[in-house]
Amino acid sequence: MNFQILGRPVFEWFQVGPNHTFEVFAHVGYGLLVIPFVMRFAAASSRSPATAPSAARPAAR
């Protein structure tokens, strides 16, 4: 969701548009909040059995 939509009911200055410095800090903050989820997803997808080399060929007997 766009932070401007959330900010308009709370802050009067959002009606004319936020300060660009504030926009940078808002995007950096959002990015920092998302990092743990992205890292967890990347780690889980790299451990998936479909991408493991041992899953591609049968074990030698």
* Confidence (pLDDT) at 29: 92
Residue 46: predicted pLDDT: 79
- Which pLDDT belongs to residue 35? 92
* Confidence (pTM): 0.43
- Domains of the chain, by residue range, sit at 3-44
pLDDT at 12: 74
In order along its 61 residues, the chain shows pLDDT tens digits of 676 677 777 777 666 766 788 888 988 999 999 999 989 988 888 776 655 555 555 556 6
CB 8 within 8 A of CB 14: yes
CA distances from 41 to 30, 36, 54, 55 (A): 17, 9, 21, 20
pLDDT attached to residue 60: 61
